[in-house]
């Protein structure tokens, strides 16, 4: 996947594309895969890097959503469980079956959650990941050795999916490209082309060179997550807002706080939220929150109340309490929830919505990572009709995603690459320096950064450390120390000079300080002035 090749394909004023997609998160990339695999001509533009927005900041669960069951949204749960099964089949290198335990502290919780999880199993049907069952107090402690034992009565075990969100996004970009799409990161849509009242294309700014160009398309799709309203304002003067921004944060802790293979799920915290602690890439991800925010941000930061909430609950449910210095990383993301008249964002719909403007701009938002494929199918079906593009059947239900393989890979750091891991292993072996780690505290090898520049469109140190590897989330301080090595490797691959290397290290360090729990830069107030309100 080469950026220059995609640029060459979109720049000449050739025949219009069938689809121009704005936004390279789960939603936009899913649409690119769907439309390209139907045989349409597709171009996708992402203003930063693939999954730079919300799609790299999730809880990493491919799930039906136990909490939506509690809210009575059975159709959303059913659809998500169906999609969970499909994704596990189509991207087995990135999705794994994860065991969760709900610890119970009152006599009624065992039967209550036990029945709820049986309903969840029943809805999953043939695509189920494994049956739920009751656990005794002793069994619960055996699976969650660090669980708070005071008043513990037992637990309920159930199964759900876990994945690597940003790696799936990169693999979707590669899948779309393999089906003929031109996919571009660092290309911002700065305006819409309109002819006789109809949207007929997009104005694009190449953020690397400052160059501007126009791309024409029969259908233009706005898949920009929490930024959809900003793009809609390029089309209409003052459209009613579609999205309510809801922020969620996570803390990453060392695995010693959740030893074993089992995740912890608290279905109802004191204020009615769901809390997860899930093993991930050798660490534990703990979260999340649901906080209404008035501005959409590409690089959001946690509020003090969110940090306190997650830390307090981690301490409440874990016998050995984490201290501030134990936190390896803190990250925040913003959910694009479909607006339904304001109020508490936890109660707003997680369903997706498609809106078509008078000029034909199709905006899609809401949903979840788990349902991205279904959202894409709906969006392409609608766009074909609205734009008069020949209707073709959706092909993604059983479409393998780049890297799909059932063959096991022995090196833990190469597992997320799936089928291409052997080729990457060969590259790493071709130069002794590339076998060295990026940093002793990180599982990644230097050759991975080289591979990512050559095959995964990594353009910056952040692309490598935040999304191609997950170093920034696994250990923010170690990722800062790894930045100079990554900058040197990228400069050699991309033909950049020493000044570029230095600038890259400086900008990554400034960003990564925002992920260090004990650094003031990780607090919302410290960065509010730097984030431009966009909706």
- The contact set with ligand FAD (CB under 6 A) reads 22-28, 45-48, 51-55, 57-61, 188-189, 223-227, 231, 248, 288, 298, 333-336, 365, 367-370
What does R_g of the chain's alpha carbons equal in angstroms? 22
Q: How far is CA 513 from CA 132, 289, 311, 478, in A?
A: 41, 21, 19, 11
Least distance from ligand FAD to the Cβ atom of residue 366, Å: 7
Q: Cα(463)–Cα(442) distance, rounded to whole angstroms?
A: 16
Q: Cα(132)–Cα(129) distance, rounded to whole angstroms?
A: 9
Q: In residues, how long is the chain?
A: 535
Least distance from ligand FAD to the Cβ atom of residue 169, Å: 8
Identify which of residues 4 and 532 has a Cβ nearer to ligand FAD in the complex. Answer: 532
Identify which of residues 65 and 114 has a Cβ nearer to ligand FAD in the complex. Answer: 65
508 φ/ψ angles, rounded to the nearest 5 degrees: -65, -40
Least distance from ligand FAD to the Cβ atom of residue 58, Å: 3
Identify which of residues 334 and 452 has a Cβ nearer to ligand FAD in the complex. Answer: 334
Least distance from ligand FAD to the Cβ atom of residue 52, Å: 5
Q: What beta strand segments (E) does 41-153 contain?
A: 42-45, 61-62, 96-104, 133-135
- 3-class DSSP assignment, residue 76: helix
Identify which of residues 253 and 428 has a Cβ nearer to ligand FAD in the complex. Answer: 253
Least distance from ligand FAD to the Cβ atom of residue 483, Å: 22
Which run of H or of E encompasses 294? none
Identify which of residues 31 and 414 has a Cβ nearer to ligand FAD in the complex. Answer: 31
Measured at the alpha carbon of residue 308, what is the angle toward residues 302 and 309, in degrees to the nearest 5? 95
Residue 125: CB atoms within 10 A of its CB come to: 11
Identify which of residues 165 and 177 has a Cβ nearer to ligand FAD in the complex. Answer: 165
Least distance from ligand FAD to the Cβ atom of residue 381, Å: 18
Identify which of residues 52 and 439 has a Cβ nearer to ligand FAD in the complex. Answer: 52
Least distance from ligand FAD to the Cβ atom of residue 97, Å: 15
Residue 350: CB atoms within 10 A of its CB come to: 20
Which has the closest alpha carbon to 132: 151, 104, 155, 105?
A: 155
Buried b (16+ CB within 10 A) or exposed e, 175-206: bbbebebbbbbbbbbeebbbeeeebbbbebbb
Q: Cα(175)–Cα(489) distance, rounded to whole angstroms?
A: 26
Identify which of residues 26 and 505 has a Cβ nearer to ligand FAD in the complex. Answer: 26
500 φ/ψ angles, rounded to the nearest 5 degrees: -60, -45
Least distance from ligand FAD to the Cβ atom of residue 360, Å: 18
Q: Which residues contact 534 (CB under 8 A, 6 or more apart)?
A: 227, 230, 295, 296, 297, 298
Least distance from ligand FAD to the Cβ atom of residue 424, Å: 25
Which run of H or of E encompasses 160? strand 154-162
Which has the closest alpha carbon to 261: 168, 143, 391, 153?
A: 143
Identify which of residues 360 and 367 has a Cβ nearer to ligand FAD in the complex. Answer: 367
- Find the residue with minimal CB distance to ligand FAD: 25
Least distance from ligand FAD to the Cβ atom of residue 334, Å: 6
Identify which of residues 53 and 110 has a Cβ nearer to ligand FAD in the complex. Answer: 53
Q: Cα(513)–Cα(511) distance, rounded to whole angstroms?
A: 6
Identify which of residues 149 and 233 has a Cβ nearer to ligand FAD in the complex. Answer: 233
Identify which of residues 31 and 409 has a Cβ nearer to ligand FAD in the complex. Answer: 31
Least distance from ligand FAD to the Cβ atom of residue 104, Å: 23
Which run of H or of E encompasses 52? none
The percent helix, strand, coil of the chain (3-state, each to 5) is: 40, 25, 35
Least distance from ligand FAD to the Cβ atom of residue 164, Å: 11
């Amino acid at each position: 996947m080469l950026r220059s090749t995609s640029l060459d394909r979109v720049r000449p004023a050739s025949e219009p594309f069938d689809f121009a997609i704005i936004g390279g998160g789960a939603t936009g990339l899913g649409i690119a895969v769907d439309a390209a695999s139907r045989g349409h001509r597709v171009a996708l533009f992402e203003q930063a890097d693939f999954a730079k927005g919300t799609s790299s900041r999730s809880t990493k669960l491919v799930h039906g959503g136990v909490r939506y069951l509690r809210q009575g949204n059975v159709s959303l749960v059913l659809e998500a469980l169906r999609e969970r099964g499909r994704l596990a089949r189509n991207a087995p290198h990135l999705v794994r079956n994860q065991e969760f335990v709900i610890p119970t502290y009152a006599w009624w919780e065992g039967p209550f959650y036990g029945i709820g999880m049986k309903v969840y199993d029943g809805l999953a049907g043939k695509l189920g990941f494994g049956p739920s069952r009751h656990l005794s107090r002793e069994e619960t402690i055996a699976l969650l050795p660090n669980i708070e034992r005071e008043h513990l009565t037992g637990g309920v075990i159930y199964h759900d999916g876990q994945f690597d969100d940003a790696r799936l996004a990169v693999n979707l970009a590669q899948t779309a490209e393999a089906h003929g799409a031109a996919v571009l990161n660092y290309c911002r849509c700065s305006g819409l082309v309109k002819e006789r009242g109809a949207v007929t294309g997009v104005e694009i700014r190449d953020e690397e060179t400052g160059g501007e160009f126009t791309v024409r398309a029969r259908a233009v799709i706005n898949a920009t997550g929490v930024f959809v309203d900003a793009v809609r304002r390029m089309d209409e003067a003052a459209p009613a807002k579609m999205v309510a921004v809801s922020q969620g944060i996570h803390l990453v802790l060392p695995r010693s706080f959740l030893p074993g293979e089992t995740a912890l799920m608290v279905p109802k915290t004191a204020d009615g939220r769901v809390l997860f602690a899930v093993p991930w890439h050798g660490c534990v991800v703990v979260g999340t929150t649901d906080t209404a925010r008035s501005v959409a941000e590409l690089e959001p930061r946690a509020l003090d109340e969110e940090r306190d909430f997650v830390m307090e609950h981690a301490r409440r449910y874990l016998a050995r309490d984490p201290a501030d210095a134990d936190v390896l990383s803190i990250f925040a993301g913003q959910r694009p929830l479909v607006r339904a008249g304001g109020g508490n964002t936890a109660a707003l719909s997680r369903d997706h919505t498609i809106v078509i403007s008078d000029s034909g701009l199709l905006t899609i938002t809401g949903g979840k990572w788990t349902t991205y494929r279904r959202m894409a199918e709906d969006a392409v079906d609608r766009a074909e009709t609205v734009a008069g593009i020949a209707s073709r059947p959706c092909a993604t239900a059983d479409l393998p995603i780049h890297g799909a393989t059932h063959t096991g890979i022995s090196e833990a750091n190469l597992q997320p690459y799936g089928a291409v891991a052997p080729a990457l292993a060969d590259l790493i072996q071709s130069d002794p320096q590339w076998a060295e780690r990026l940093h002793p505290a990180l599982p990644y090898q230097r050759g991975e950064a080289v591979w990512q520049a050559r095959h995964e469109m990594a353009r910056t140190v952040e692309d490598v450390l935040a999304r191609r590897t997950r170093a920034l989330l696994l250990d923010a301080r170690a990722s800062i120390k790894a930045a100079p090595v990554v900058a040197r490797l990228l400069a050699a691959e991309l033909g950049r000079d020493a000044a570029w290397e230095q600038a890259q290290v400086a900008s990554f360090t400034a960003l990564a300080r925002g992920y260090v729990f004990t650094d003031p830069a990780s607090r919302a107030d410290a960065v509010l002035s730097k984030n431009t309100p966009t909706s």
